[in-house]
Chain A
């Protein structure tokens, strides 16, 4: 009964989405007020019904209703409650439902927090969001319905993949989807601008907080996924350039370009067409990412082709969304215009260069991710593109971007002068060079890559602080008043850029100085690595709620002082019979120790194991940097001027403000 109710709620949501996706758009084109007014109630009603459907599926999971095919495939009566709830988005159908729930949540938020927007704009934005929702609801109802029944019902479920039975995996997909789906709002604003032909600083100010919010969630989602892979896959890798990861990284790169381009559009009225194009691509890559990960195309192109209904629907949907919006772009872009002029050396040109570098980076990831799939689909042979490709490409692409990140916020809009910039940054640059040359020595060895990475990180910090100091100096007032005069979005930018520096430190240190050893150890034996001694003390059997495990006890010492005890496990889950490596991690501010049990070795008393021990300097800075970036995004979203806009809708910014306020 409950699943049928959920199904019915989805059908009602589809009908409301159809209304939301057609009438307001037509109303905006014809100027019919009553049709435009439909957008808000339709959007809010749609949210209610999607939420009901989501509640119904959750209920089926919690009550172990194995007469629902999706529940039977992704849950089990022995599964702890929190993972039964997370199981809702453990597979393809439920992920789609989560996607639609997020979409209706964002749509609802737009409909609530947009009272100050003109009626025709809000009608168009909500209309486009409604159309996207129609596509997803149709896909779900016609090809991947999570409420399909399994008759006769299964005795018990096939269980959730043990890898997903982890707190990190409970929140990772919702975060990631908040980000993916959030770009649909930026996309809807871009399409609305094309339709109405109005794209000015005011438009950018409406669109910016939504885009930054989406980017913030995506940043957190990717960081969570990376962290999860690090501690849960058991072998200490934090980024594999796996297609699944690339799928989320591409929209992030585009989204990062987009928030910077939007800043220029807001402050200078420039980059208009480029901003619209980036919004379209960011959303297109989000769609592509969703489908790549959840459709099964990555596991096997051919298995995907044997279920052509889904594949054709996905391809058609992508073609309609991307093709349609690019056609609209080609037709209307000249009405939007290019925007203001600027010099070869100016903040605009620096931001444009960064944008192009980010777009090229996204393109290179796309090439490395899709090319093997294409060849395979056409039966032209099998090949893979590994981490070396991505690393070779990313270092030279990101290095100039990181350098410009320091210069950009100081450079003047429209026209900047190289000698003036050189004078202002000479100390920051000297500090960066000195830091880059000397800091690696604290780790004992000096390598060019470590030196280069640290140079860039120190440069970002030093140049950002230089810019902060010069802004404070230019601000009238004294002491704390100077600090308070800076906008929240400026502090947001500062924090996010610091986050990038922290991230760069993490990546550089791990890549340059990590140590790893695979050894055979019997209880009582010990191994030394990077100044730490790991003594294998004991081996015990332990019992979890739905698994049994072997647990090793390791005592770690550094010189004469004890560091701590570590307990890596090898688990065997009852239902899926998968062995799982549960690593033990000892975290300090500047390093992680990482111990994982490999496999037992048939020798002597049979108690020896192959053990992998690792020392990972500064690895947590990688995720720490991402958290700082996301916090920076949050600060920027909370900037006062987005709320001020409520009162003075399209008052132009005073010129002095435009010159002083930074691109955040």
Chain B
């Protein structure tokens, strides 16, 4: 056992080395891919879910809904914009610094990605798709859920007028 160069290895050993390195390499690659995947999933929440504290703190996520009418306010620096995203049940203030997409409008669907900082959603990215009537699916979903909450609330008031 001293100077075994690959040339002196038996074919069977050679094949075992190949297989072992191959499997080990694949395992490392798979572990790398899966852990990167785990760390970079961006989940979607509606303003109601955020209000119910379901959204993660200190991790990026997406929020979607409608840009509330009259809520878009440009800050004095000219490039920071504050607006409110609503799912018609709850609202959520958003701050974004930069150029907004061409189809960003009050009363239209929007999806923003960013983090919660003291109740304010600081967006790193604002998405609105390139079609006047197109609603980002996430935003449409948020509106649907928000309206369902409203309806439920309305029904519970009708059904139990005595409570509260």
State whether the Cβ of A235 lies closer than 8 Å to any Cβ in chain B. yes
Instruction: Give the distance in Å from the alpha carbon of A578 to the alpha carbon of B102 in the complex.
Output: 8
Q: Which residue of chain A has the shortest Cβ distance to B30 in the bound complex?
A: A360
State whether the Cβ of B132 lies closer than 8 Å to any Cβ in chain A. yes
Q: Which residue of chain B has the shortest Cβ distance to A346 in the bound complex?
A: B6
B132 adjacent to A577 (CB under 8 Å): yes
State whether the Cβ of B57 lies closer than 8 Å to any Cβ in chain A. no
B33 adjacent to A383 (CB under 8 Å): no
A579 adjacent to B103 (CB under 8 Å): yes
Known: A389-B36, A393-B36, A610-B79. A356 touches B22 (CB 8 A): yes
Instruction: Give the distance in Å from the alpha carbon of A385 to the alpha carbon of B137 in the complex.
Output: 16
Mark the stretch among A192-200, A536-544, A593-601 that contacts chain B. A593-601
Contact of A344 among B6, B134, B138 (CB under 8 A): B6
A363 adjacent to B33 (CB under 8 Å): yes
What A residues does B99 contact at CB under 8 A?
235, 518, 596, 598-599, 610, 612
Contact of B42 among A299, A357, A384 (CB under 8 A): A384
A598 adjacent to B100 (CB under 8 Å): yes
Instruction: Give the distance in Å from the alpha carbon of A368 to the alpha carbon of B41 in the complex.
Output: 9
Contact of A341 among B11, B22, B141 (CB under 8 A): B11
State whether the Cβ of B155 lies closer than 8 Å to any Cβ in chain A. no
What B residues does A300 contact at CB under 8 A?
137
State whether the Cβ of B70 lies closer than 8 Å to any Cβ in chain A. no
Q: Which residue of chain B has the shortest Cβ distance to A360 in the bound complex?
A: B29
Known: A163-B130, A577-B132. A360 touches B78 (CB 8 A): no
A648 to chain B, nearest CB (A): 34
Instruction: Give the distance in Å from the alpha carbon of A602 to the alpha carbon of B78 in the complex.
Output: 9
A384 adjacent to B62 (CB under 8 Å): yes
What B residues does A360 contact at CB under 8 A?
26, 29-30, 33
What B residues does A608 contact at CB under 8 A?
78
State whether the Cβ of A345 lies closer than 8 Å to any Cβ in chain B. yes
State whether the Cβ of B131 lies closer than 8 Å to any Cβ in chain A. yes
Instruction: Give the distance in Å from the alpha carbon of A234 to the alpha carbon of B99 in the complex.
Output: 11
Q: Which residue of chain A has the shortest Cβ distance to B137 in the bound complex?
A: A300
Max chain A Cβ within 10 angstroms of own Cβ: one of B6, B22, B43, B131? B6
Instruction: Give the distance in Å from the alpha carbon of A356 to the alpha carbon of B36 in the complex.
Output: 19
Known: A360-B33, A397-B29. A299 touches B79 (CB 8 A): no
A381 adjacent to B41 (CB under 8 Å): no
Q: Mark A289-309, 1 if CB is under 8 A from B, else 0.
A: 000000000011010000000
17 contacts between A and B (CB under 8 A): A344-B14, A344-B18, A353-B25, A356-B26, A360-B30, A364-B37, A383-B42, A384-B41, A385-B37, A389-B40, A389-B41, A397-B32, A415-B7, A576-B132, A596-B99, A598-B99, A608-B78
Q: Which 3 A-B pairs have the closest CB atoms?
A: A520-B78, A598-B99, A389-B40
- B: residues with CB less than 8 A from A are 6-7, 11, 14, 17-18, 21-22, 25-26, 29-30, 32-33, 36-37, 39-44, 62, 74, 77-79, 97-100, 102-103, 113, 130-132, 134, 137-138, 141
